Structure 1
């Protein structure tokens, strides 16, 4: 599924890309491998996970990927800096207010014409997928996950001034429906 994000971005040499809530850096590594002349930064709030990501990059000879500690709703980057921002299976962990603040921050740090690429649980495709999502809700909490049952991501993107919003993929998984999106900053 992460490869859907990599392919839809078509990174170019010199592009600056951010992997938001990067975890152990799997997506950051895929991005760097797709375009070795792009610059990739991963950010996560957990210092231990950042340490694991750095070790993983050394093992994979991807030392050019930078990792920083930080929160999604207070990104430590200047305005209009990135060509692309990516996030994978992170947004459903945030409260509605944190989701909005995160999307506003992503909009702020993207250049005009920059792209926001998302992969997360969203509106279930059918009743089976709705039932499959219940364990995720029990584990992560209904407060943060319930908006995703209704398909909140496109609405949040519109509300935070993104344009040309498109659903680029839909996956039925053991834990529910996962959708990918691309949106642009104008």
Structure 2
């Protein structure tokens, strides 16, 4: 009797992750484009990238397609998302993934290189509390070469515009409700589907042990700050220049230049 071996379609899981993220961030590809434009402008078309809190490797995927001579090191703690990333990039020699906790004071010791041209992150660092993020920004400055760039795109609401914020929030909730009615997965749905997958069930269970089950609210410890706070904190961490370089109503991307 021939034994059937389960084979995961990692590309399909990568695509489903992108669709789930786009439900929250319809301008997601635009922020990636703006991010990589800044990378090319500041450090050139052959960057050595550190993809911080990389998840499934969304930034690395777009960077390697845009820059044929780029290399990327993806860092994350999530075993399920790293399983998808490693499967998706199994034939790609230009990217390597490292398991590390960004709250560990020694996480940079796990990196294969000591200096990077660009450190990039998107929609990930809001998992950290403000004091943890301040420490991380100093560590990022320590692994960037002189003239290197750090770009962080994330939730960065402006508290000085409450009516604008409320209107934008209501608009996006209505859009999301229509997409959900059409069958789009949200965060919780996506993780429940991953937990049912034979090849992902083990890593997902480990992920739930580390971060908690998304159905129970696994963002509880994180904090968000304004883009101005991020720019100020980057300058305090040793960056020569720092400012927002892209924004929507609720999100922004801050650039720090070493």
The bucket for the TM-score relative to the shorter chain is 0.7 to 0.9
RMSD of aligned C-alpha atoms?
Answer: 2.5
TM-score (norm 1): 0.81
Larger CA Rg, structure 1 vs 2: 2
Aligned counterparts, 1:154-169, within 5 A? 154-169=231-246
In the TM superposition, what is the alpha-carbon distance from 1:129 to its structure 2 partner? Answer: 5.2
Structure 1 or 2: more helix by fraction:
2
Please, which of 44, 68, 73 is the counterpart of residue 12 of structure 1?
44
Q: Distance in 2 between matches of 1:6 and 1:128?
A: 32
- Runs of 5+ consecutive residues of structure 1 not aligned to the other structure: none
Structure 1 or 2: more strand by fraction:
1
Q: Is the 8 A contact 2:47 2:71 kept in 1?
A: yes
Please, which of 94, 98, 101 is the counterpart of residue 68 of structure 1?
98
1:103 aligned residue: 137
Q: Is the 8 A contact 2:246 2:254 kept in 1?
A: yes
Structure 1: 4+ residue segments shifted above 4 A = none
Distance 1:151 1:182, change over 3 A: closer
In the TM superposition, what is the alpha-carbon distance from 1:72 to its structure 2 partner? Answer: 2.2
2:204 aligned residue: none
Q: Secondary structure at the match of 1:162?
A: coil
Q: Is the 8 A contact 1:78 1:109 kept in 2?
A: no
In the TM superposition, what is the alpha-carbon distance from 1:71 to its structure 2 partner? Answer: 2.1
Q: Is the 8 A contact 1:19 1:43 kept in 2?
A: yes
The number of equivalent residue pairs is 173
Q: Is the 8 A contact 1:80 1:112 kept in 2?
A: no
2:128 aligned residue: 94
TM-score (norm 2): 0.60
In the TM superposition, what is the alpha-carbon distance from 1:150 to its structure 2 partner? Answer: 7.6
Distance 1:149 1:181, change over 3 A: closer
1:144 aligned residue: 222
Aligned counterparts, 1:114-153, within 5 A? 114-124=148-158, 126-128=161-163, 130-131=165-166, 132=169, 140-141=219-220, 144-146=222-224, 148-149=225-226, 151-153=228-230
Matched, 1:34 2:66: yes
